[in-house]
Structure formats: C-alpha cells, structure tokens
Amino acid sequence: MVTPTSLPFDSEINLRAELDELRHSLLSEFLPALLALAWLFFGYIFVRTGLPGRDALPAIILATGAGSAYLLRGKSYRLACWAALAGMILGLSLLVAQQPGSLAIAFGVLAIIVANALLGAWAALLTATLLWVTHLVARNLIGGAEAGHSMPQAILLYYLTWGASWLASRPQRTAVQWALAGWEYARNALREARERSAELYRVVRALEEATYRIERMNNALIVAQREAEEARALKACLAATVSHELRGPLNLILGFSKLMALSPESYGEPLPRAYRADVYTIYQNSQHLVALVDDILDLSQIEAQKLPLVKDRVDLEEDVVKKTVHIVEPLAKRKGLYLRLELAGNLPWVLADPVRLRQALLNLLNNALRFTERGGITVRTAQQGNFLLVSVRDTGPGIPAEEMPKLFREFHKVDVATGQEKAGSGLGLSISKHLIELHGGTIWAESQEGLGTTFYFTVPLPGSQPSLAGIVKTHEAQHPKGEDSCLIVHDDAGVVRLLARHIEGYHVVGLPDEDQVVTLTEALHPRAIITTPERAERIRERLAQRPFDVSLITCSLPRMAERSHLQGVVSYLVKPITPEALAATMRQVERDGETTVLLVDDDPDAVRLLERMLNAIPHPYHILKAYDGLQALEIMQETVPDVVFMDLVMPGLDGWQAIARMRAEERTRGVPVVIISARDWMGDNTDLGTSLTVVRQQPLDMTRGARCLRALLDALSPRYLPEAESSAPSAKSSLGRSASGAPPPRPGPAPARAG
C-alpha cells in the first residue's frame, strides 16, 4: 500500500495541483452563494428598517468582497480568496460591533471554515486571528464598554473551530493523497502494461515469424527426409539388385579362372605358365570383386537397418581373435610378416555376434596386411572397466594427420606415403565401424607417420548399460524413427536374418536361448521380444521381476533345417560357388560307385562351370544337363538322378514348380535337391504358423489397443474363395517375384540368370 509519506516529489506537486483545481471549482461555486447571502441580508435590513442606513453596511461590505473576489479569480486565486474573506471578516466584525449582544459573533465560524476549505489550515488560523483582532477593534471603536465582554469566548470558539476544521480536512487530504497515489500507481502500471504489451506484441510477431520460418524449415526437412529415405531405399534396392545380378557373371569368372589356374589338369592338357599366371590374376581380381559385392551388400543392409546381430555368449579371445588371426596367418607368412598375439587371458564373456565381430576384426587385419611391407602386426586384448578392448598394431607407413578425420568414411582410401596404390574398396573400415557400433562399442585409430598405425575397438560387457531400477516413468517415451530395436529369441540364426530383412525400421538382434534375455533387454530396451511358444513362458518368468514392461510376441518361428528337410532340399549354394563348397555338398549325396548328377540352370555357362567343378573332384560322376524345369522333368522320367542341382529362376517352369512336380511323382519323390541361388532362398517360402500372441505385464488402454487392432486389420487380409490347385511356390512365383527374391525372367535369348 502506498502511503502519503512515500510519495515522490513529483507526486506531491501533482497533489497540490489537484487540490488547487478542487479549490478553484469550490471558489466558483462559493462566490455566488456569498453574494446571494449579502443581498438576502440587505433585503432583511430593508424590510426591518424600511430605509437602510448604517445597519446595511455589513451587507454592503460582504457583497463588495464577493464581487471583488469574483473579478480577481481569473487573475489570482489567492488574492480572490482573501478578498472574499476580507469582506466576510470586515462585515462580520461591523455586525458584531453594531449588535454586541446578538449571536452575530458565532458567524465568524463560517469564515474560518471557508478559509480552511479555500486556502488551507494556515490561512484558516490567520482568519481566526484576524476575526478576533477586527472584532476587538470594532467593539472598542463602536461598542464601548460592552466591547470586550464576550471576546474570550469568541476567541476560544474561533480557535476550536480552526482545530476542528483542520482535523476534519486532514482525512480528506489524506484520502486525496491516497487516491492520487493510487492513480499515479495505476498510471505507471498502465504505462508499464502498455510497454509490456508493445514488447509482447513485438515478441509475438517475432515468434510468428520464427514459427513461420520453422514451419517452412520443417516442411523442407520433411521433404528432404522423405527424399533421403527414398534415396536410401533406392540405394539399398539398387545395391541389392546390382549385387545380385553381379553374382551370376562373377560366379562364372571366379569359377572358371580358379579351375584354370589351380586345376589345369581338368582340361586334359597342361596350360602355358604365362597363361596360368594371367588367369590367376583374373582369379585374384574376381575375388576382390566378390568381396566388394559382399561389402556393398553389408553396407546397404546396415544403412537400411536390415543387418541383424545374432548374439550369444562369446569368448572374445577364443571365438573371435584367434579364429580371425588363423584366417590371415597364411597371408602374413607369404609376405614375410610376423603376426603376434598378446592376449590378456581369463577375460569375461560378452554378448555379441561372433560372425560380425570376426568380420570387423578381419577388415582391420586385412587393412594392416595390405599396407605393411616390413615388420608385422600385433593383436592385443585387455579389459578396460565395463569394456573389452582389442587393438591391431602394424609397422606400416602410418596415416597422415589430415587423413585421420576421413578414415572411416565410405569409399575413402588413405593416401599413404609409399606412393603405391593399394587394392581395396574403401568400405572395410566403414563396415567395421558400423558393426562395432551396432554392438554398443566404439572404434578409433592412432597413427604416426613412419611408425605405424594402431586400431582399437571396444565391446561392452553384459550389464554395463545403466539399470532401470528406481527410475520412475513420467510419460511414454518417444522413439525416433530408425533407433528402435527388436529382440528375437530363436536358435536358428538363418531365421533371425530372414526376419530382419522383413521387419523394416527396426534393428533386429537375435539370441539363441532365453538365458541372457534380461541382460540384453536392459542393454537394448527393445520395442518387443519375439519368440516361439515353447520359450515364451520361461521368458515371461525371467521378465516378471524386472521394472520394465516389454511386449512379448509369440509365433511359430520355423527352423531352416526342418524346412529344408520338408522340401527335400539337402543344401543350398549361394553364388559365387566355390569348389570347396561344392565338394562338401557332394560328400552328403555321393554313391559308392558312379553318382548321377542332374544340373538344371537356364544359363549354359553356369551348367558348364558346375560340370567343370564336378569333374575336378576325384570321384566318378555321370552328369545330366537341363536348361529349364520341363526339360529336367523329362530327363527324370527316363533316368532318376542321385542328386539334382536346381536353379530357382528359370523361364517357363521355375525351380520351385519343378521341385513340386518332382515330389508329386513316386519315382522322383526321394531325390535330394541342392538349391543354387544368388541369395537366400527361404524368404518367401517360410510361414509363421496360424497364431500370433502378444503378452504384456500391464493391460493395454483403449487407444493403444485400438491402434494395435487397426495395425492387425491392415496387415491381415481374409480369404473367402478357395485357392487354385497349384503348389505354394508356384502361387508365390506368380506374384511377379521368385522365391529367391529375383525378378521374373525377361524375354530374350537365354540370358545368364543369377538364380
């Protein structure tokens, strides 16, 4: 609350100005009343005496003072007030002197009150004093001995009146002060409010402009993101398609060149040494092309989040380091380099995909061998806190400092100081980085020119992720697109990889059993866990005591071995086919005597390559050849082979249709089949059973439940008409894509198909 004493100087000036304005208006209203009083008194004297004489002087003096004040009010307010007061004082004093015994002396109170109202307390005190003095003088001059009889009472009355009027006007003045202070405060508040309003308006305008810019940027980002996603999808599709199409001709180049270089005796006569050297060069470069195709496929799968991790308890030294070093050891010996292992020993196990860790380490070792000419390579292991550390140190030329920031970029090749161009795709380090980061680890390099390079990577230990215990959930977490994971508990790694290709937008991690499901769930925070009915109850029991609630999806996940057995498929070979893989397959189906083999492929060159590879195996084979499914069935009507090598993608009757007709015939029902394909053949020929169950610890609310139901309604379509009598593979092939995932054959003169 604002008190009068707290008013600033300018507020005091405003108070005086306000009071002066009120007094001016009061004076304007008082003077006519005073003049009217004078004329009434004059009229009273005239009526009483008939002819006014000396008795009319008080009225004349009063009227004169009022008239003078009226004339002076425009020039000087205080002078006008004193003129009116002087008329009242003199007129009243003369009246008291003329009638000393009357109550006329009491009318002096009116002058004191008027003085207090018009000029303030001090003017009222002066008026009381003047009344006393003028009364005394007038009585002494006119009243004689009776003049001072009642003067003490008059003096007391006047000063008491002054005191009372002063006390009466003080609350009024205080109220005016408070009102003025409130008005001043309100005015300041209004000014501040206007300033704030103007500032707020400017801020709102700035926010509107910023919001408009943000909306435009968001729209541009949405368009750019959509274009980037489309480009990434197109890139992945292009990489997969091109790689798939490359496998066919690469299979021929690699197969024939290897046979010519390493098994020239299969051609019946020795080849010139220079010829064999050139062919071996072709073979080596073909291997490089195959590795490049594999790298491109891996990179496209990583970018599309379709590269699954099949995790298990892994002894990093035994399952990863030693096995990988064993692979590159012959190459190090050929180059005259040492390859040392400095293992910490007794390291704890990790949850990891041993295949992908070996791939990452193999890329680092190959990179070190490629650039090291003297000295050798040292591989070390150690434990650092919650991580296991692996390092690969070489004695090569080192990496320039300006190349270090670009070291893990795709297709980047380091410009080393040797000046020699080294073979390599520029993808190995990038793929290693992605694979290590998928495991939750980090990878980096340290190098000094002339002294060599050391690559480090870490793998986290189980349980190194922060625990969720004690964390209170405040709202539903929003998961950015592309960062969610899905955990699949299944003992068939092939099925896990198959599901990873079809579950888009999620990083798939596989576990062979439920022993580590709690640890991996705490580390990954998956959106859901997918498993089979026989494992579901054990997983629920392990998760029941944990603070998180993760959806458990149960369905009948198949096993590749069981599926292959049902189809009569004993093996499948992915192009490019190596002689070692072919020999291992033949050992499963060979007869004691001559083995009859039927080769079915629409590409004559691919058939000829398989024939060459079979002839290089030290076992007698009777080889039959067919170039489409119908021709193969016709041959089998005459001769039942011991094994059939079947390409899947062929014009007319494709591989699946041919296998279905084989199984329908009694004579060929038991003939084993080896699938030849450029990619995994199980993708479109595996089902998940007839039931799918979702279990959560907490019930679903209506909104989320309805969302789940709508997703199921969108994904599941009913069937009301009976299926046509045809085999399942045939029906699937009629959709415009074969079981291997390759497009249907185009019309033309016997193109080389990649299966």
- Over residues 400-443, the pLDDT tens digits come to 888 888 888 877 776 655 444 455 567 788 888 988 988 889 99
Q: What's the rounded Cα separation, in Å, for the pair 647 and 742?
A: 12
Query: Structural domain boundaries of the chain?
Result: 1-262, 305-415+424-460, 486-557+692-714, 561-684
Query: For 534, phi and psi rounded to 5 degrees?
Result: -70, -20
Residue 474: predicted pLDDT: 35
Q: How many CB atoms lie within 10 A of CB 445?
A: 19
Residue 141: partners with Cβ closer than 8 Å, 6 or more residues away: 97
Q: How far apart are alpha carbons 8 and 191 in whole angstroms?
A: 17
Q: Which pLDDT score is estimated for 559?
A: 65
Compute the distance between CA of residue 315 and CA of residue 319 in angstroms, rounded to an integer: 5
Residue 381 near residue 316 (C-beta atoms within 8 A): yes
3-state secondary structure of 192: helix
The model carries a pTM of 0.54
Q: Which fold has domain 305-415+424-460?
A: Heat Shock Protein 90 (3.30.565)
Q: What is the mean pLDDT of residues 318-337?
A: 90
* Same topology between domain 305-415+424-460 and domain 486-557+692-714: no
pLDDT band at 478 (very low <50, low <70, confident <90, very high): very low
Give residue 394's pLDDT. 92
299, exposed or middle or buried, with CB in 10 Å at 0-12, 13-18, 19+? Answer: buried
Judge whether 554 and 533 are in contact, CB under 8 Å: yes
Confidence band for 288, pLDDT divided at 50, 70 and 90? low
For the chain, the average pLDDT equals 77
* Fold assignment, 561-684: Rossmann fold (3.40.50)
CA distance 645 to 662: 13
State both tokens at 651: 């014009």
User: What pLDDT does residue 175 have?
Assistant: 73
Note the pLDDT of residue 322: 92
* pLDDT band for position 325 (cuts 50, 70, 90): very high
At 443-462, the pLDDT tens digits run 999 988 888 899 999 999 88
Closest CA to 178 of 401, 8, 7, 411: 7
What is the pLDDT at residue 126? 85
Do 722 and 633 contact (CB within 8 A), yes or no?
no
Closest CA to 326 of 379, 265, 288, 367: 379
Domain 486-557+692-714 listed as CATH 3.40.1080.10: no
Confidence of residue 740 (pLDDT cuts 50, 70, 90): very low
Task: List the single range of 243-257, 488-502, 563-577, 708-722 with lowest mean pLDDT.
Answer: 563-577
Of 375, 373, 391, which is closest to residue 383 (Cα–Cα)? 391
In which element (H, E) is residue 378 found?
strand 376-384
At residue 721, the pLDDT reads 65
For the ranges 112-126, 286-300, 520-534, which has the lowest average pLDDT? 286-300
Distance CA 84, CA 63 (A): 9
55 confidence band (pLDDT: 50, 70, 90): confident
Average pLDDT rounded to a whole number, residues 471-484: 44
Mean pLDDT of 38-60: 73
Q: Tell me which of 643 and 503 has the higher pLDDT.
A: 643
pLDDT band with cut points at 50, 70 and 90 for residue 377: very high
pLDDT at 393 over 80: yes
Across 157-172, average pLDDT: 75
Average pLDDT over residues 619-644: 91
Q: Among 357, 250, 238, 360, which residue's Cα sits nearest to residue 300?
A: 238
Residue 643: pLDDT above 90?
A: yes
- Spatial separation of the C-alpha atoms in residues 266 and 259, rounded to whole Å: 8
First CA to last CA distance, the chain:
92
